[in-house]
Amino acid sequence: QITMMQDMDIVTEPQCRKGRPVQICAEKRRDLILDAVEGFMVERGLLHTSMDNVAKRAGMSKRTVYELFESRESLFAECLSRRSHRMLAPLTPAQKSLPLAQRLEELLTFNFPRTSARQSVEVLRSVISAARDYPGLGRRIHTVCLGRLYDMVAAELVEGNARGEISVTVEQAAEHAVMLTDMALESPLSVLLDPDADLEDTEDKAARRRLAIRIYFQALQGPEELSIAACRASGDGPAA
Protein backbone atom coordinates (compact mmCIF):
# COMPACT_ATOMS: atom_id res chain seq x y z
CA GLN A 1 0.00 0.00 0.00
CA ILE A 2 1.33 3.41 -0.94
CA THR A 3 1.22 6.15 1.70
CA MET A 4 2.12 9.81 1.37
CA MET A 5 3.87 12.16 3.83
CA GLN A 6 1.69 15.24 4.16
CA ASP A 7 4.21 18.01 3.62
CA MET A 8 6.69 16.37 1.24
CA ASP A 9 6.33 15.36 -2.40
CA ILE A 10 7.62 11.83 -1.84
CA VAL A 11 6.05 8.42 -2.01
CA THR A 12 6.98 5.64 0.38
CA GLU A 13 6.30 1.92 0.05
CA PRO A 14 6.94 0.60 3.55
CA GLN A 15 5.94 -2.99 2.80
CA CYS A 16 7.99 -3.33 -0.37
CA ARG A 17 11.01 -1.08 0.00
CA LYS A 18 13.41 -0.09 2.77
CA GLY A 19 15.65 2.92 3.04
CA ARG A 20 14.99 6.44 1.79
CA PRO A 21 11.53 7.24 0.31
CA VAL A 22 11.26 7.36 -3.47
CA GLN A 23 10.89 10.86 -4.87
CA ILE A 24 8.69 11.42 -7.91
CA CYS A 25 9.06 14.23 -10.40
CA ALA A 26 6.48 16.95 -10.98
CA GLU A 27 5.39 15.45 -14.31
CA LYS A 28 4.66 12.10 -12.68
CA ARG A 29 2.71 13.81 -9.88
CA ARG A 30 0.65 15.68 -12.48
CA ASP A 31 -0.19 12.45 -14.27
CA LEU A 32 -1.24 10.74 -11.03
CA ILE A 33 -3.49 13.66 -10.16
CA LEU A 34 -5.03 13.85 -13.66
CA ASP A 35 -5.62 10.09 -13.68
CA ALA A 36 -7.46 10.46 -10.38
CA VAL A 37 -9.55 13.35 -11.72
CA GLU A 38 -10.59 11.41 -14.81
CA GLY A 39 -11.61 8.48 -12.66
CA PHE A 40 -13.85 10.61 -10.46
CA MET A 41 -15.33 12.50 -13.43
CA VAL A 42 -16.37 9.20 -14.98
CA GLU A 43 -17.61 7.63 -11.72
CA ARG A 44 -19.28 10.60 -10.01
CA GLY A 45 -19.39 13.51 -12.41
CA LEU A 46 -17.49 16.77 -12.36
CA LEU A 47 -19.57 18.45 -9.65
CA HIS A 48 -18.84 15.62 -7.21
CA THR A 49 -15.10 15.54 -7.88
CA SER A 50 -13.43 17.20 -4.88
CA MET A 51 -9.79 18.14 -4.39
CA ASP A 52 -9.76 16.06 -1.18
CA ASN A 53 -10.83 12.90 -2.98
CA VAL A 54 -8.48 13.54 -5.89
CA ALA A 55 -5.54 13.97 -3.52
CA LYS A 56 -6.37 10.78 -1.65
CA ARG A 57 -6.71 8.70 -4.81
CA ALA A 58 -3.50 10.15 -6.23
CA GLY A 59 -1.72 9.24 -3.00
CA MET A 60 -0.57 12.72 -2.01
CA SER A 61 -1.55 15.70 0.10
CA LYS A 62 -4.08 18.30 -0.98
CA ARG A 63 -1.33 20.87 -0.52
CA THR A 64 0.69 19.14 -3.26
CA VAL A 65 -2.32 19.18 -5.58
CA TYR A 66 -2.77 22.93 -5.08
CA GLU A 67 0.92 23.52 -5.71
CA LEU A 68 0.44 22.11 -9.20
CA PHE A 69 -3.13 23.31 -9.91
CA GLU A 70 -4.39 26.55 -8.42
CA SER A 71 -8.08 25.66 -8.61
CA ARG A 72 -10.54 22.89 -9.43
CA GLU A 73 -11.31 24.54 -12.77
CA SER A 74 -7.64 24.71 -13.78
CA LEU A 75 -7.31 21.06 -12.80
CA PHE A 76 -10.31 20.04 -14.89
CA ALA A 77 -9.07 22.15 -17.81
CA GLU A 78 -5.67 20.45 -17.76
CA CYS A 79 -7.43 17.09 -17.71
CA LEU A 80 -9.31 17.98 -20.90
CA SER A 81 -6.16 19.28 -22.55
CA ARG A 82 -4.22 16.09 -21.80
CA ARG A 83 -6.99 13.87 -23.16
CA SER A 84 -7.21 16.00 -26.31
CA HIS A 85 -3.49 15.70 -27.00
CA ARG A 86 -3.64 11.94 -26.55
CA MET A 87 -6.57 11.55 -28.93
CA LEU A 88 -5.41 14.02 -31.58
CA ALA A 89 -1.86 13.00 -32.34
CA PRO A 90 0.08 15.08 -34.90
CA LEU A 91 1.20 13.41 -38.09
CA THR A 92 4.41 11.43 -37.96
CA PRO A 93 7.24 12.16 -40.43
CA ALA A 94 6.19 9.08 -42.42
CA GLN A 95 2.56 10.27 -42.55
CA LYS A 96 3.72 13.73 -43.59
CA SER A 97 5.09 12.21 -46.80
CA LEU A 98 1.68 10.84 -47.83
CA PRO A 99 -0.61 12.54 -50.38
CA LEU A 100 -2.93 15.18 -48.96
CA ALA A 101 -6.05 12.99 -49.00
CA GLN A 102 -4.31 10.36 -46.90
CA ARG A 103 -2.85 12.95 -44.54
CA LEU A 104 -6.33 14.33 -43.94
CA GLU A 105 -7.73 10.86 -43.30
CA GLU A 106 -5.01 10.22 -40.72
CA LEU A 107 -5.76 13.51 -38.95
CA LEU A 108 -9.49 12.81 -38.87
CA THR A 109 -9.01 9.39 -37.27
CA PHE A 110 -9.05 9.65 -33.47
CA ASN A 111 -6.14 7.97 -31.76
CA PHE A 112 -8.21 5.84 -29.38
CA PRO A 113 -5.50 3.21 -28.72
CA ARG A 114 -3.75 5.81 -26.56
CA THR A 115 -6.86 6.53 -24.50
CA SER A 116 -10.18 4.88 -23.66
CA ALA A 117 -12.97 5.88 -26.04
CA ARG A 118 -15.62 5.12 -23.42
CA GLN A 119 -13.82 7.19 -20.81
CA SER A 120 -13.51 10.09 -23.25
CA VAL A 121 -17.27 10.08 -23.77
CA GLU A 122 -17.95 9.92 -20.03
CA VAL A 123 -15.58 12.83 -19.38
CA LEU A 124 -17.40 14.83 -22.06
CA ARG A 125 -20.78 13.99 -20.49
CA SER A 126 -19.45 15.08 -17.12
CA VAL A 127 -18.34 18.48 -18.41
CA ILE A 128 -21.58 19.08 -20.31
CA SER A 129 -23.68 18.28 -17.24
CA ALA A 130 -21.69 20.87 -15.25
CA ALA A 131 -21.63 23.53 -17.98
CA ARG A 132 -23.83 25.94 -16.01
CA ASP A 133 -21.44 25.85 -13.04
CA TYR A 134 -18.27 25.74 -15.15
CA PRO A 135 -19.08 27.51 -18.45
CA GLY A 136 -15.39 28.03 -19.17
CA LEU A 137 -14.81 24.29 -19.30
CA GLY A 138 -17.55 23.83 -21.87
CA ARG A 139 -15.93 26.47 -24.07
CA ARG A 140 -12.54 24.89 -23.49
CA ILE A 141 -13.73 21.56 -24.87
CA HIS A 142 -14.31 23.28 -28.19
CA THR A 143 -10.94 25.06 -28.04
CA VAL A 144 -8.67 22.18 -27.03
CA CYS A 145 -10.60 19.35 -28.68
CA LEU A 146 -12.62 20.15 -31.79
CA GLY A 147 -11.00 23.56 -32.25
CA ARG A 148 -7.56 21.98 -32.13
CA LEU A 149 -8.59 19.45 -34.77
CA TYR A 150 -9.88 22.27 -36.99
CA ASP A 151 -6.49 23.99 -36.68
CA MET A 152 -4.58 20.80 -37.50
CA VAL A 153 -6.69 20.16 -40.61
CA ALA A 154 -6.38 23.80 -41.70
CA ALA A 155 -2.60 23.65 -41.33
CA GLU A 156 -2.50 20.56 -43.53
CA LEU A 157 -4.62 22.29 -46.18
CA VAL A 158 -2.19 25.20 -46.16
CA GLU A 159 0.67 22.72 -46.50
CA GLY A 160 -1.18 21.09 -49.39
CA ASN A 161 -1.37 24.47 -51.09
CA ALA A 162 2.36 24.98 -50.59
CA ARG A 163 3.04 21.59 -52.18
CA GLY A 164 0.80 22.36 -55.14
CA GLU A 165 -1.75 19.67 -54.22
CA ILE A 166 -4.64 22.13 -53.90
CA SER A 167 -5.16 25.87 -54.31
CA VAL A 168 -6.53 27.61 -51.19
CA THR A 169 -5.75 30.73 -49.22
CA VAL A 170 -5.03 30.68 -45.50
CA GLU A 171 -8.48 32.16 -44.83
CA GLN A 172 -10.18 29.57 -47.03
CA ALA A 173 -8.21 26.77 -45.36
CA ALA A 174 -9.63 27.75 -41.95
CA GLU A 175 -13.19 27.72 -43.31
CA HIS A 176 -12.70 24.50 -45.29
CA ALA A 177 -11.21 22.73 -42.27
CA VAL A 178 -14.38 23.29 -40.25
CA MET A 179 -16.67 22.15 -43.05
CA LEU A 180 -14.54 19.11 -43.91
CA THR A 181 -14.17 18.00 -40.30
CA ASP A 182 -17.89 18.35 -39.63
CA MET A 183 -18.66 16.28 -42.73
CA ALA A 184 -16.12 13.60 -41.87
CA LEU A 185 -17.10 13.01 -38.23
CA GLU A 186 -20.47 11.88 -36.97
CA SER A 187 -22.33 14.12 -34.57
CA PRO A 188 -21.19 13.61 -30.95
CA LEU A 189 -24.86 13.63 -29.93
CA SER A 190 -25.22 10.10 -31.24
CA VAL A 191 -22.76 8.76 -28.65
CA LEU A 192 -23.67 11.20 -25.87
CA LEU A 193 -27.36 10.30 -25.95
CA ASP A 194 -26.96 6.56 -26.48
CA PRO A 195 -25.14 4.80 -23.61
CA ASP A 196 -24.78 1.69 -25.79
CA ALA A 197 -23.41 3.49 -28.86
CA ASP A 198 -20.61 1.77 -30.74
CA LEU A 199 -17.42 3.72 -30.04
CA GLU A 200 -15.10 1.59 -32.13
CA ASP A 201 -13.67 2.97 -35.36
CA THR A 202 -15.86 0.93 -37.70
CA GLU A 203 -15.46 0.57 -41.45
CA ASP A 204 -18.59 2.71 -41.91
CA LYS A 205 -16.95 5.55 -39.98
CA ALA A 206 -13.77 5.19 -42.02
CA ALA A 207 -15.84 5.21 -45.23
CA ARG A 208 -17.58 8.41 -44.10
CA ARG A 209 -14.20 10.11 -43.63
CA ARG A 210 -13.05 9.05 -47.08
CA LEU A 211 -16.34 10.20 -48.65
CA ALA A 212 -16.09 13.63 -47.01
CA ILE A 213 -12.53 14.05 -48.29
CA ARG A 214 -13.59 12.93 -51.79
CA ILE A 215 -16.48 15.41 -51.84
CA TYR A 216 -14.13 18.17 -50.71
CA PHE A 217 -11.60 17.48 -53.46
CA GLN A 218 -14.34 17.34 -56.08
CA ALA A 219 -15.72 20.67 -54.87
CA LEU A 220 -12.27 22.24 -55.21
CA GLN A 221 -12.30 21.35 -58.91
CA GLY A 222 -15.47 23.37 -59.55
CA PRO A 223 -15.54 26.91 -60.95
CA GLU A 224 -17.07 28.58 -57.91
CA GLU A 225 -15.01 30.16 -55.16
CA LEU A 226 -15.36 28.05 -52.02
CA SER A 227 -15.63 30.57 -49.21
CA ILE A 228 -18.29 31.82 -46.83
CA ALA A 229 -17.81 35.36 -48.14
CA ALA A 230 -18.48 34.23 -51.72
CA CYS A 231 -21.63 32.38 -50.69
CA ARG A 232 -22.79 35.38 -48.70
CA ALA A 233 -22.19 37.69 -51.64
CA SER A 234 -24.07 35.51 -54.13
CA GLY A 235 -27.20 35.37 -51.97
CA ASP A 236 -29.07 33.35 -54.58
CA GLY A 237 -28.78 29.84 -53.19
CA PRO A 238 -26.97 26.87 -54.73
CA ALA A 239 -25.97 27.03 -58.35
CA ALA A 240 -28.25 25.05 -60.67
Output the pLDDT for position 54. 93
pLDDT at 139 over 80: yes
Closest CA to 200 of 106, 128, 110: 110
Mean pLDDT over the full length of the chain: 82
Specify the higher pLDDT residue, 212 or 230.
Answer: 212
Cα–Cα distance measured from residue 15 to residue 8, given in angstroms and rounded to the nearest whole number: 19
**Contact at 8 Å (CB) between 73 and 37?**
no
**Residue 48 and residue 126: Cα distance in Å, rounded?**
10
Mean pLDDT of the 222-230 span: 76
Using pLDDT thresholds of 50, 70 and 90, give the confidence band for residue 96: very high
pTM for the whole structure: 0.76
pLDDT at residue 156, as a whole number: 97
Among 24-33, 137-146, 222-231, which stretch is predicted with the lowest mean pLDDT? 222-231
Classify each residue of 142-160 as buried b or exposed e, where b means 16 or more C-beta atoms within 10 Å of its C-beta: ebbbbebbbebbbbbbbbb
Contact 134, 127 (CB under 8 A): yes
Q: Does position 106 have pLDDT exceeding 60, yes or no? A: yes
**Helices 203-220 & 170-184 angle (0-180, nearest 10):** 150
Phi, psi for 205 (deg, rounded to 5): -65, -40
Over the stretch 19-65, which tens digit does the pLDDT of each residue have?
A: 444 567 888 899 999 999 988 888 888 888 889 999 999 999 999 99
Distance (Å, whole) CA 156 – CA 173:
9
Query: Which pLDDT value is given to residue 11?
Result: 40
